[in-house]
Amino acid sequence: MKDLVDAAARLRGLHHAAEPLVLPNAWDAATARSIVEAGFEVVATTSSGVSAALGYADGEHTPVDEMFAAVARIARVVDVPVTADIESGYGLSPAEVVRRLLDAGAVGCNLEDTDHASSAPALKDAEAQAERLKAVKEAARSSGVEVVLNARVDVFLRSDGQPQAMLEEAIRRARLYVEAGADCVFPIGAPDVRTIEALVKAIAAPINVIAGFRGAPGPTRLRELGVRRISYAGRLQRAMAIDLQRRLEAIRRGEDI
């Protein structure tokens, strides 16, 4: 338990270090080891990458036991903090979310405000999501490990309103989630530098942005904007899959790879 307590404190502290926390996301034990060997201080999983590696679509189509087993395999082979992308929590209670995370060896998680149980994925009620996040933090505190909660705000993915209205709703949700105890806020899909800059200024917590996603700039510019957590989601897994497909096609043509 002490190792988990220390790892959680380490992960939280890195969100407030002199340099942003950079997270090239892993999807299995081998990629997790590669990330640590490359000198990164934390391993973050990607739900899309883990799902693809297990043969499922992203969006909570992976059975919950398989997802947490994958997280556990990753945590087993590295000696740095692990934070897990567990989508919206697979319908688990807050206490069960925390129990499964800690049993897997993870000390942080992403929790998104998309409802995957509906016929078409849609945003959850913001106030209800804030209460859920608060309950997760309380369950973590009761466990003795201050799990680091990265609250994902999906407004830019799930809404089709005017840009200013979406920005205002993203800020409203983010502030609710921070008040509920979120350690970091993840407004995924923020479409441009102006929006990211406004989010950083308006939210009193570290902000997570995926480098290069939907108009977001690269890590150097994100650092200048004050982004504290820079991740890559499933980009590395997709790049590896594309490279594999290219090599397989070359083999079929009888070429040397």
Q: Please report which confidence band the pLDDT of residue 225 belongs to, taking 50, 70 and 90 as the band edges.
A: very high
The answer to whether residues 227 and 201 touch, using CB atoms and an 8 Å cutoff, is: no
Tens of pLDDT along 194-207? 999 999 999 999 99
75 assigned to some structural domain: yes
pTM of the model: 0.95
In this prediction, residues 234-254 reach a mean pLDDT of 97
Calpha distance 101→74 (Å, rounded)? 12
Tens of pLDDT along 160-193? 889 999 999 999 999 999 999 999 999 999 999 9
Full domain range(s) for residue 21: 2-252
Backbone angles phi, psi at 45, to 5 degrees: -90, 165
183 assigned to some structural domain: yes
What is the pLDDT at residue 117? 84
What is the pLDDT at residue 254? 97
87 assigned to some structural domain: yes
What is the pLDDT at residue 214? 92
Tens of pLDDT along 77-128? 999 999 999 999 999 999 999 999 999 999 999 999 999 987 788 999 999 9
Q: Is the dihedral of CA 8, 10, 13, 14 positive or negative?
A: negative
Number of domains in the chain: 1
> CATH code at 100?
3.20.20.60
Tens of pLDDT along 27-75? 999 999 999 999 999 999 999 999 999 999 999 999 999 999 999 999 9
246 assigned to some structural domain: yes
Tell how strand 114-115 and strand 108-112 pair up.
Answer: unpaired
257 assigned to some structural domain: no
